[in-house]
Amino acid sequence: PKEYVQQQSCRKVAIVTASTDGIGLAAARALGKKGASVVVSSRRQANVDRAVTLLQSQNIQVTGTTCNVGNGQDREKLIDITLQTYGGIDILISNAAVNPFFGNTMDSTEEVWDKILSVNVKAAFLLTKLVVCHMEKRGGGNIVFVSSVGGYQPMPGLGPYCVSKTALLGLTRVLAPELAPSNIRVNCVAPGVIKTRFSSALWENEDVMDEFKKQLSIKRVGNPEEIGGVIAFLCTEDASYITGETITATGGMSGRL
C-alpha cells in the first residue's frame, strides 16, 4: 500500500559497524527501536546471521553483511548493500576497534601500530568519506565514532589502543565544522568499562575490578545498552544542536577525564 511505502521512505537508514555483539549490537537495537532501518555487520557471516535473526525477533527492520572495516572492498560492499536494500544512508556508527597488543608501549611494533591505526582510526575516516555524499543527497545525517575513556587518560598496558581512541576525539573535532554546512552532525561516545567480550580480561578479574570500582561513582561495569542508548540519542532531533562533542558514559569515573 502507498501509505506503507511512504512510511518506509521516512525511515532513517543506519549503518553500524562491528554490530553483531556488544556495544555495536546494542546501538543497532537502540536505533532500530527508534524506527531506523539498520544494517549490521562484522567479520564473520555466522555472527551477522545471528545478530540479524535476533534483531528481527525484536521487530527491528534489519539487514546484514560481512564487513571487516580494515578492508576497502568490504567497506564499499557495506555501502552498496545498504543503498541496494534501503535506498539511502542517514546514520553511520563507526564502532569497530581492535587491540592486538598489551604491554609497555615501548615494546610495541610497527605492525601493531599499523593494525591499530588502520582499523580504529583510518577505517573510521574512510567510511565517513564513503557515506557523506549519500547523506548529502538526503539533506543531512549523523556520524558517531566510538572512542573510549582511555582516549582521555591512557590505561596501563594499552598505549597504542588508547592513542587510537584519542585520535577519534580529534577526528570528531576536525570533521564537525567541515560537515556542518551539509547538515551532518559528527559526535563521539567514550565508554568506560562495559561488560562485553572485548573487555572481559578486566571485568572477569575480581581483584582488578575491586580496585577499579574505587574510581567509579556507580559501582559496577556498564551494560552495552547503556552506551547504545547514548549513541542513538545523538542521532535524534533531540540532539540537533550537538556536534563535535564526545559524551563520556563511564559510571562517573574519576581521575580519568
Asked whether position 18 contacts ligand NAP by CB under 6 A, the answer is yes
CA 39, CA 3: separation in Å to the nearest integer? 23
Asked whether the beta carbons of 92 and 141 are under 8 A apart, the reply is: yes
Q: What distance lies between CA 38 and its chain's CA centroid?
A: 13
> Which CB, 116 or 176, lies closer to ligand NAP?
116
Write the DSSP assignment of 81-136 as a string of letters: HHHHHHS---EEEE--------B-GGG--HHHHHHHHIIIIIHHHHHHHHHHHHHH
Asked whether position 124 contacts ligand NAP by CB under 6 A, the answer is no
Torsion sign over Cα 114, 172, 143, 97: positive
> Which CB, 8 or 208, lies closer to ligand NAP?
208
Q: What distance lies between CA 1 and its chain's CA centroid?
A: 35
Decide if 152 is catalytic.
no
> Which CB, 139 or 257, lies closer to ligand NAP?
257
- From candidates 33, 34, 43, 138, binder to ligand NAP by CB under 6 A: 43
**Binding flags for ligand NAP, 82-121, as an x/- string (CB under 6 A):** -------------xxxx--------------------x--
Sequence length of the chain is 257
> Which CB, 231 or 239, lies closer to ligand NAP?
231
- From candidates 193, 216, 232, 235, binder to ligand NAP by CB under 6 A: 193
- From candidates 16, 36, 39, 69, binder to ligand NAP by CB under 6 A: 69
Run of H or E including 170? helix 159-179
**Binding flags for ligand NAP, 138-157, as an x/- string (CB under 6 A):** --------x-x---------
Angle at 55 between CA 50 and CA 59, to 5 degrees: 145
Give residues in contact with ligand NAP (CB under 6 A).
Answer: 17-18, 20-24, 42-44, 47, 67-70, 95-98, 119, 146, 148, 191, 193-194, 196-199
- Catalytic residue set: 161
